[in-house]
A and B are shown apart, each in its own frame.
Chain A
Amino acid sequence: DVKVTQSSRYLVKRTGEKVFLECVQDMDHENMFWYRQDPGLGLRLIYFSYDVKMKEKGDIPEGYSVSREKKERFSLILESASTNQTSMYLCASSRFGTAKPNNEQFFGPGTRLTVL
């Protein structure tokens, strides 16, 4: 089974702190994704990566950056955390480097981040 793990389930940070969220997948997937999940808004894509050192902005990249130095690891960085970044953050991965009709995404358990 594919496993996607995230470094923390719960995280509390202060406004202005630099925050790192880590995600690791163990199935050699090319694509990795970061979403945030907010009530009533569903999942919104922050960034994704289709290869090592490659990244593309999603729908809401402002205030975030990402890093993918190794294929299995995709990090989300909040350069200066703000209270409106309090949310659930979900990481996902999928197998193929280019889109396939049934390209399933596998999700991690999520990190609930609170910024005070």
Chain B
Amino acid sequence: GDSVTQMEGPVTLSEEAFLTINCTYTATGYPSLFWYVQYPGEGLQLLLKATKADDKGSNKGFEATYRKETTSFHLEKGSVQVSDSAVYFCALLVKGAQKLVFGQGTRLTINP
């Protein structure tokens, strides 16, 4: 079945470090891909998305590129801030389906 695998956390970095959170997927057809972020005490909010191969989603300094050949959608940021501390979820939506399939989430902590 369709599935998403994220790198295991927790991930702890210092402020201004480079961030990569790996995400790979298995899906029938060509899904749309999403990164959601959950700040402490809040629900999930969409961070960025990509709907077809080679698309790059970007928002708030974060980027992810839809790589069909490696079935990946890794999240990157060049210089993280303390305010980026949150749980990050990778997700896919198979075309014709109603529901998102989520990875297990990666907790990110940024130290000043």
Contacts and interface: CB of A to CB of B under 8 A. Distances in A.
B44 A90 contact: yes
Nearest to B49: A102
Interface residues of B, number: 26
Contacts of B49: 102, 104
A33 B100 CA distance: 10
B78 to A, nearest CB: 25
Nearest to B99: A45
Interface in A67-116: 90, 92, 98-99, 101-110
Contact of B98 (A40, A42, A43, A50): A50
List 4 A-B pairs, minimum CB-CB distance, nearest first.
A107-B43, A42-B104, A101-B51, A107-B44
B98 A41 contact: no
Interface residues of A, number: 27
A4 interface: yes
Interface string B24-45: 0000000010101000011111
Contacts of B44: 43, 90, 92, 105, 107
Contacts of A102: 32, 49, 51
Contact of B43 (A50, A56, A98, A109): A109
A48 B100 CA distance: 11
A31 interface: yes
